[in-house]
Amino acid sequence: MAPMPTIEFASGSGLDAGARLSLCADLIQTAAETPPSPVRYARWLRDHGVSDRETGVFLASLLGIRGRSSLEAGTVAGELRKALEKGGQEGDAFRTALFERMLALDGYLALHVLGAFKTSNGLLSDRELYARISSPSYGGRRPTSAGLGHWLTWMLTLGAIEKVGFQRRLTPMAEAGLAYLEGASEEELRPPPEEEEEPPAPVAGATPQAPVAEAAPTAAPEPAPAPAPEPVTASVPPLLEAPPEVDESLAPSAYAPHHRFFSEAIPRDAACEASARRVLAWWHAAGCPAADRASALGIELAAGPHGGVDGTRLFALFAAARCLEAGPGGRALWAALAGVGTLERLYREETSLEEVLEGPVGEAPAAGLLVDLVRYRRRLQGEAGRALARARTSEQLLEALTAVAGTTAGAHLFWIPREMRLAGLWRFPEVERLCPVPTAAVREHAYRLGLLPGHYARGTEELALAARRLSVWFRASEGFDLPLAHFARTYGCAFHCERSALCHLDCREREGPGPVDL
C-alpha cells in the first residue's frame, strides 16, 4: 500500500448517521451525473445543511471527487457508486466500501487506534484512545482530540465501532480491517507530509472486495515537463453568492501562493490589484450602491457664481460628516436638522444655538453635537475656511480640514473631500489621495485583503495614511471607498473566518494568524 497523506477529518456538525450516509450517496450521484463547479459545490453543501468548510473539503477527499473547474467523480467515486447501487446507502456494501476508504485515507492512524482495542480488554473510551496515540511510540502526525472525535464518528456511522456505555468496541468489520492493516509495514502506512496525490486504498472488509482506489503504477513513469499551472477558482463561503468572474490573469493562484502576506519576495502589487478587482466586481454586480452620499442626505453640491463653493453647503458637509461619525444618534440629529432647514439659518447666524436647542432639534439624540457645528461655522468663516479654498496639495487640504473640524469628525473627515471630488468641485490632482473614507469597517476589510498593513488608526495622520494607501487601488471612477464599504456590509468577512477555504478572495484569514498589528 502506498503511503497516505494526513488529512483533516470532519463529520459535519448536527448530522446524524443516516444524514451523513445520505450526504455521501447524494454527492457521489451529483458528481457522476452533473459535476458541480466549486461555486455550485458550496451552494450544494449549503442546501444539504453543511455550513462548515472542513466537512466540504473532507467529503471531497473521502469520496474521491476531484477537479479545478468542476468536481468530477474519479475512480474512487466510481467504485463507491457501484457499492451504492448494490444495496443503497444503508446497505453493507456501501458502508464497507466507505470504511475501506476511511482506512486508506490514514492507514497509520487506523492501525494504532483499532490496534489499541486488542491490547486492552476490548473496551476503550475516547480519552483513553487519544492517550494511546499521544504516546512517543506513535510516529505519525497526531490529530487533535476533535479530529480523532470526527474519525470515531465516521467509524460509528459506518458500523465499524459501536458504543458500550461511555466506551467503544470493535465490530467484525473493524476487526477484518485491522487484520489487513497489520499485514502492512508501518513505513507503508505512515502518512508523508509532502504527499499530494491520493494513492490507492486496498483494504479488505468482512468479505474481500476490489480496492476502492486507483491502482498504483508498477513502474515509475519517465519524467515529463511540469504542466502549466491552472488557475484555481475557489468556492465562495456557504450562504454567500459568488462575485462575478474577473480577469483570471490576476487571480491569486496565477501570481503567488497564499504566503504573500508574510513574504516580501511575493509581488504584492499584483496581489493587491487582484483583491481590489474582486471587490469592485462584487460592487458592480450589486449595481454600484452608494450609501451616505451627500445627495442622499439632501445636500445639493454645485459651484457658486465665481467657481467656488457656497459656504452654506460646505458647512452642511462638515455637519453631515460629524453626524455620520456619531453613529445612529448622529444620523437622527441630521434628520432633525435637515427637516426644518436649521443648518442654513444657523450658518447665516439667523438663529442662535439656544433657539435651535429649544425647538424640535433639541430633543433629538446627540443634540450636544450642535456645539461642534457652531465651532465649524466660526472656523469656516475665518482663516481656516480661506485656507480650505486655497488648498492645492493633499497636505494643505488635510491641514485645512483639520483646522475646521479638529478630530471630531474622525474618519468621516475624509467624507468631505470624497463628496467634493465626486461632485466635480475639487479637481486638483492630489485631492484624490484623501478621498477614500477609512472607516473602521473599511480598514478591517482592506487589511484582510492585504491592501493595508494594519487596521488600527490612531488619529487623523494615520487615517490619512490609510486613505492614501486605498487611493492607489480605488479611484474616483471606482467610487473611492464605496466598493469596500459595500463589501464590508454584504460579503460576510470576519476575523477568524470559518469559511475561508471556500472563499474566492485571497485574504489573511486563509493563512491563519498573521503578523501582530501593534
129-144 per-position pLDDT tens digit: 877 777 666 666 677 7
Residues 206, 176: Cα–Cα separation, whole Å: 5
Residues 518, 515: Cα–Cα separation, whole Å: 9
Residue 59 CA from chain centroid, whole number: 20
C-alpha cell at 43: 451552494
Type of residue at 374: V
Structural contact between residues 465 and 443, judged by C-beta atoms closer than 8 angstroms: no
Residues 354, 352: Cα–Cα separation, whole Å: 5
Tens-digit pLDDT profile for residues 173-200: 988 888 888 887 666 665 444 333 343 3
Structural contact between residues 96 and 83, judged by C-beta atoms closer than 8 angstroms: yes
Tens-digit pLDDT profile for residues 324-361: 998 888 888 888 777 656 788 878 876 677 777 666 66
Core vs surface per residue 167-196: b (16+ CB within 10 A) or e: bbebbebbebbbebbeeeeeeebbbeeeee
Where on the phi/psi map is residue 62: left (φ > 0), alpha (ψ -120 to 50), or beta?
Answer: alpha
Residues 96, 94: Cα–Cα separation, whole Å: 5
Residues 281, 176: Cα–Cα separation, whole Å: 54
Mean pLDDT for 477-505 is 79
- Which is more confident, 267 or 312? 312
Which among 417, 501, 486, 477 is positioned nearest to 445, based on CA atoms? Answer: 486
Question: Over 70: is that where the pLDDT of 300 sits?
Answer: yes
Question: What's the mean per-residue pLDDT of the chain?
Answer: 75
| DSSP string for residues in 282-315 | HHHHTT---TT-TGGGT----B-TTSSB-HHHHH
Query: DSSP label at 69?
Result: S
Question: Over 50: is that where the pLDDT of 229 sits?
Answer: no
Instruction: Tell whether the torsion through CA atoms of 291, 294, 297 and 300 is positive or negative.
Output: negative
C-alpha cell at 364: 433629538
C-alpha cell at 445: 476589510
pLDDT band of 513, cuts 50, 70, 90: very low
Residue 329 CA from chain centroid, whole number: 31
Structural contact between residues 470 and 484, judged by C-beta atoms closer than 8 angstroms: yes
Residues 413, 405: Cα–Cα separation, whole Å: 8
Residues 367, 346: Cα–Cα separation, whole Å: 14
Which among 430, 426, 384 is positioned nearest to 405, based on CA atoms? Answer: 384
